Amino acid sequence: MLFQRKYVLALRRALYKYRYRKRSKGGEQEGEEMIKTENLTKEYNGNKAVDGLNLEIAEGDIFGFLGPNGAGKSTTILMLVGMIEPTEGKCIINEIEVARNPLKVKAIIGYLPEDVGFYGNMTAEQNLDYFARFYAMDANERKKRIEELLELVQLDGVSQKVGGYSRGMNQRLGLAQALLNDPKVLFLDEPTANLDPEGVFQYREQIKQLSDEGKTIFISSHILAEVSKVCNTIGIISKGTLIARGTLEELKNEFGRVGTENLRIIVETIEPLPEIEHEDIISAEYSEAKRKVVIESKSDLRDYISSELFEKGVKVKEMRMEEPTLEDVFLSVYRR
């Protein structure tokens, strides 16, 4: 029984994949717009929480929406899912304007709010069943779907009422809740906030699987590592405005050299190191009885260092170059 369901799921996934691949191969312009905002603005007491945001996210993308606390991520998502009305501008999802037709949009999206909440006096199944009744599903379909989802988020077999859930369990149920209607577009507001490492790992697997099914996924987070692991495109928001947009690579290239123009080369050896000199070297710090050096330089000097050491018969234990990490990129962009 269990095995059978898994089999069916896998088959369906494969089918989705096939269909999706075929479509993008078939000359159809890849990345039809699924989510779009035009001059989206939200004011709270004269302060702009979101300020003239223009976003375009293609169908099938996993979009990471990055920004520090209070940047306006949640506000943007709330407007996108039709929970609050924009002060100015509009949101369009699947060519439907959200503010004009919120119900039609809600029927095709899934939304995991930050700090998602449920009815504590009911079990996970009862909670999901309540929400599922707002869609066109009969009792059997609901039951099947809920079983499937609880298995996906590994809450099957939990008979406890939701009031007694841990925060991580709550968060996982939140994902199941967002997937009830098998949405085309998924909005996740800080989905890993309360998850343990194992939970985060499973969540990433689930996101990949959902993406394979062709869903467009919008993930907000303030943790870059989180977003970089699952997203293929990224937008960075700060103080309500979009300050960067592109794929991971594009962002790295665009912002990579900002603030950290220099490379760091770290060399560890078995014998003590000789002095290494080169015009590009800015500084060199020796440590561990001259068996380790951290060199800051203007260019990649690894070839040079390696042949220097080889000539002098010094055996190398490790040599690596540190490029600016995404973290650095992120911070440098934030701080501008």
Partner 1 sequence: MEAKGLFNVARKEFIDHLTSRKFLIILALFLVISAISMHQGIDNYNDRLERYKEQISQITGEEGIEPGYMPEKPSILLIFQMMSFQMSLLGAILAIVMGFDLITREKESRSLKSLLSHPIFRDEIINGKALGGILALVFAIGIALIISFAMLLLFSIVPDLNELWRIALFGVISVLCLLTYFSIALMTSTVSENSGMSIIYALIIFLTISLFLPMVGGMVAEIVVGEPPESPTYRIPPPPPTPNANENEQGEVIKPVKIEIPMDEEEWQRYEEESRAYWEKRSAIDGAIFTLVPTTNYLAVSSAVLSKNGGGLMFFGPGYRSETEGQDMLERIWKNILALIIFPLVFFAIAYIKFMRMDIR
73 near ligand ATP (CB under 6 A):
yes
Strand 47-58 and strand 33-44: pairing? Answer: antiparallel
Cα of first residue to Cα of last residue in the chain, in angstroms, is 56
Cβ neighbour number for residue 22 with a 10 Å cutoff: 10
40 near ligand ATP (CB under 6 A):
no
The span of 2-10, 63-71, 180-188, 327-335 binding ligand ATP (CB under 6 A) equals 63-71
Closer residue to ligand ATP, CB minimum distance, 71 or 301: 71
Amino acid at 335: R
75 near Mg ion (CB under 5 A):
no
- Residue pair 215/17 in contact (Cβ under 8 Å)? The answer is no
Q: CB within 8 A of 268, min separation 6: which ones? A: 288, 291, 292, 316, 317, 318, 319
**Binding test (CB under 5 A) with Mg ion, winner from 37, 41, 74, 228:** 74
The span of 13-21, 51-59, 69-77, 203-211 binding ligand ATP (CB under 6 A) equals 69-77
The span of 6-14, 23-31, 42-50, 85-93 binding ligand ATP (CB under 6 A) equals 42-50
- How far is 273 from 212, CA to CA, in rounded Å? 51
- How far is 229 from 237, CA to CA, in rounded Å? 19
Give the binding-site size for partner 1 (rule: CB under 8 A).
29
164 near partner 1 (CB under 8 A):
no
Collapsing DSSP to helix, strand or coil, 51 comes out as strand
Amino acid at 61: D
Q: Which of residues 220-249 bind ligand ATP (CB under 6 A)?
A: 222
| Alpha-carbon torsion (48, 51, 52, 55), positive or negative | negative
70 near ligand ATP (CB under 6 A):
yes
**Binding test (CB under 6 A) with ligand ATP, winner from 4, 29, 69, 140:** 69
Closer residue to partner 1, CB minimum distance, 174 or 240: 174
Helix (H) or strand (E) holding 318: strand 316-322
Closer residue to partner 1, CB minimum distance, 217 or 326: 217
**Binding test (CB under 6 A) with ligand ATP, winner from 35, 49, 150, 210:** 49
Q: Which of residues 67-96 bind partner 1 (CB under 8 A)?
A: 74, 78, 81, 83-84
Closer residue to partner 1, CB minimum distance, 189 or 328: 189
- How far is 151 from 58, CA to CA, in rounded Å? 30
71 near ligand ATP (CB under 6 A):
yes
Q: Which of 260, 256, 258, 305 is nearest to 280 (CA)?
A: 305
Q: Which of 191, 73, 174 is nearest to 131 (CA)?
A: 174
Which of Mg ion, partner 1, ligand ATP, none lies near 71, with the C-beta cut-off 5 to 8 A by kind? ligand ATP
Q: Residue 96 CB, nearest distance to ligand ATP (Å)? A: 23
The span of 23-31, 132-140, 201-209, 292-300 binding partner 1 (CB under 8 A) equals 132-140
- Residue pair 93/109 in contact (Cβ under 8 Å)? The answer is yes
Q: Residue 46 CB, nearest distance to partner 1 (Å)? A: 16
Residues near ligand ATP, by CB under 6 A: 44-45, 49, 67, 69-75, 114, 222
